[in-house]
Structure 1
């Protein structure tokens, strides 16, 4: 872990989903769902349906792959020290980072609790998931738990390892020494808490870190341990997570302030390497700077600052001469989907048209083209046509739950309730581990209620599947399945 400062960030840096996640790696993967309160809101379909139903999804996320440009630690870790920040007038901080766990016990398993309440102990015995005791007590164990989707168990393991570092329960406010390994453990823990929607605990445990500008998160603070080494001990992904954190707490204006500062420093570092004619390092920091801009656009979308989005997209992201045609195409496609989110169909069609022209000549429409076209059809309330388009897209990426979910939405609004239910049920039966995601579960539970007043039996069958195939959900089972919690 210490040899790879990015480490486990590939699993979490894109939470919550961004319109730009797919730019890091063109290979599609399953979209990560997040609590509905954090989704950019859309008025689409609101006039025809008032239930708790997820509208068509716009975002296809992708693995946040290892950074494609390889650089040495000096380039990767470069960040202005507290003393340098003081020279620029921002004020050199004098405090130290003294974190600690805010819970004494492990996070519970809410799915297991719900199964025990609604289905009983016999069904709970069918729940076979990895626990902390089932893996090695190190970062390899954390990776194993994360790969298995056991995020709460991974949080619990980070707690054990941080306790070994003297940063366990009750240690907040007490002096601590930091290393790349300990700070990566904290980054992993906080990113997992964000993913799981544990925002109260996230806020409490992240508070001591501030924006990672304290003296003791730089190598210079430990000359006896890191002789001559300079730069940030904390990873850039950790800084980005802390800057984005107010988004999870419903405070995008604070996140926008944090991210703007992060972007300024990232751009200054990029310019530093441009002046020294280090093109590889300059490109590395250019990409980091652009990743911050992606997050800024997500904040602007939540705050309805649409002119800011246009300024960044057209004036900053798309002006770089070194962009490949595929990178340009991805950006125009993302821009078009943003226009759809704000209800500007004509503007979206214009951006999608540019994206199509950037595709290789004489090639058939690919997944991006089809999803863009399908979303336009949905926006025009042509649900039968949208369904056919998404169906073609599904042939290119079978099992893509974003596409399946949108197909179900189209069937519902085309008046084919039973067909929508059958589609979701077939998807779950064919691949329960992938298809039992939050958006699809919310939608299917809503369809069950529309179909019959006696929907509880079917919802409990879904709970049985969740019990057997899902280690964790990002929102509570009761919300997902619209079940009444029992006392």
Structure 2
């Protein structure tokens, strides 16, 4: 299904105009939907201007308690606190980064994490355990977004420190086991830093805890492949990735990394065939994935001179399925 974000933005605006002014919950949900659509379209300046119209998202007027029209007998834990969707707060914090102000985004995310922690502490002191759980999850979510922001700023050391803190404070599940997705992500960050020894230790924990869990066999194998690639053992990494691909032929991450292995092994034609087949057979996922399309076009540039004709064919294929949020510059025709 195409990502018709322009239609979503228009629909949200139309619904906002027609909404009852007293129904703040619905209005704020619609604002989030519209701003999300605008950011997906890359219209960051417009999204920022419209977000400014909302004013301070933490002001009292946007809380349930401020509106005495809600009968007290209907109020419960779900109708207290802020009406602002948490996703809207995340979006508002991230928006400056897309406007080339990453430090402002990092500051806003930090303030949002502090807010989440305060709510958790207050819930503990007031013995509201039901409220504490969701806000702990939100706090962890904010830290993960912060780590992503740091990676986009090429601050992999800061991202790794943040992920280490997340792993220690939020990485243990109710059954006492570690969250293996967080550990795997931390291991990949260590590889980005070139710290292979630390990555091996992390992946060793994942192997130990995941050895009896069939659901994460693929994750364990991917970690092994990443480690081999970091060591420059391309043949062994390719063998591991081919094994994963046999079990899951639609894993785009595996295909991309297997193509990288083939490039380093000097098998550019094989890498092109692999990506081309994947994008053709899965047009609505791989065929419209900007990373996959850009990798394929880059390989065409390495293999052919000129490569324009091949990239035009890619554009024709993509145009049949792509939504209006697709960044066409990944085809590299300019």
Normalised by the length of structure 1, the TM-score is: 0.61
Whole-angstrom distance in 2 between the partners of 1:148 and 1:361 = 39
Whole-angstrom distance in 1 between the partners of 2:126 and 2:34 = 37
Report the 3-state secondary structure (helix = DSSP H, G, I; strand = E; otherwise coil) of the residue aligned with 2:266: coil
Whole-angstrom distance in 2 between the partners of 1:387 and 1:450 = 20
Whole-angstrom distance in 1 between the partners of 2:285 and 2:222 = 19
Q: Is the 8 A contact 1:211 1:242 kept in 2?
A: no
TM-superposed CA distance for 1:422, in Å, is 0.6
Q: Which moved more, 1:265-274 or 1:358-367?
A: 358-367
2:103 maps to 1:253: yes
2:305 maps to 1:453: yes
Q: Mind listing any 5+ residue stretches in structure 1 that lack a counterpart?
A: 1-146, 167-175
Alignment correspondent of 1:186: 31
Equivalent of residue 466 in structure 1, options 308, 314, 318? 318
Q: Is the 8 A contact 2:147 2:160 kept in 1?
A: no
Give 1 or 2: higher helix fraction: 2
Whole-angstrom distance in 2 between the partners of 1:313 and 1:149 = 31
Distance 1:293 1:414, change over 3 A: same
TM-superposed CA distance for 1:297, in Å, is 2.0
Alignment correspondent of 2:237: 386
TM-superposed CA distance for 1:449, in Å, is 1.9
TM-superposed CA distance for 1:440, in Å, is 0.9
TM-superposed CA distance for 1:274, in Å, is 2.0
Equivalent of residue 51 in structure 2, options 177, 198, 206? 206
TM-superposed CA distance for 1:351, in Å, is 1.3
Whole-angstrom distance in 2 between the partners of 1:459 and 1:309 = 35
What does 1:138-217 align with in structure 2 at a 5 Å threshold? 148-165=2-19, 179-217=24-62
TM-superposed CA distance for 1:456, in Å, is 2.2
Whole-angstrom distance in 2 between the partners of 1:365 and 1:331 = 13
Alignment correspondent of 1:345: 196
Equivalent of residue 124 in structure 2, options 274, 277, 282? 274
Q: RCO higher in 1 or 2 (8 Å CA, sep ≥ 6)? A: 1
Whole-angstrom distance in 2 between the partners of 1:305 and 1:422 = 35
Q: Is the 8 A contact 1:448 1:455 kept in 2?
A: yes
How many aligned positions are there? 326
Q: Is the 8 A contact 1:384 1:410 kept in 2?
A: yes
2:285 maps to 1:440: no
2:138 maps to 1:288: yes
What does 1:321-332 align with in structure 2 at a 5 Å threshold? 322-324=173-175, 327-332=178-183
Normalised by the length of structure 2, the TM-score is: 0.87
Report the 3-state secondary structure (helix = DSSP H, G, I; strand = E; otherwise coil) of the residue aligned with 2:320: helix
Equivalent of residue 250 in structure 2, options 399, 424, 429? 399
Question: Root-mean-square deviation (CA), in Å?
Answer: 2.7
Q: Is the 8 A contact 1:374 1:387 kept in 2?
A: yes
Alignment correspondent of 1:369: 220
Whole-angstrom distance in 2 between the partners of 1:291 and 1:307 = 19
Q: Mind listing any 5+ residue stretches in structure 2 that lack a counterpart?
A: none
TM-superposed CA distance for 1:371, in Å, is 1.4
Q: Is the 8 A contact 2:255 2:275 kept in 1?
A: yes
Output one character per residue of 1:391-445: Cα deviation in whole Å (capped at 9) or x when no partner.
2222333212122111112212211111111111111221111111101111111
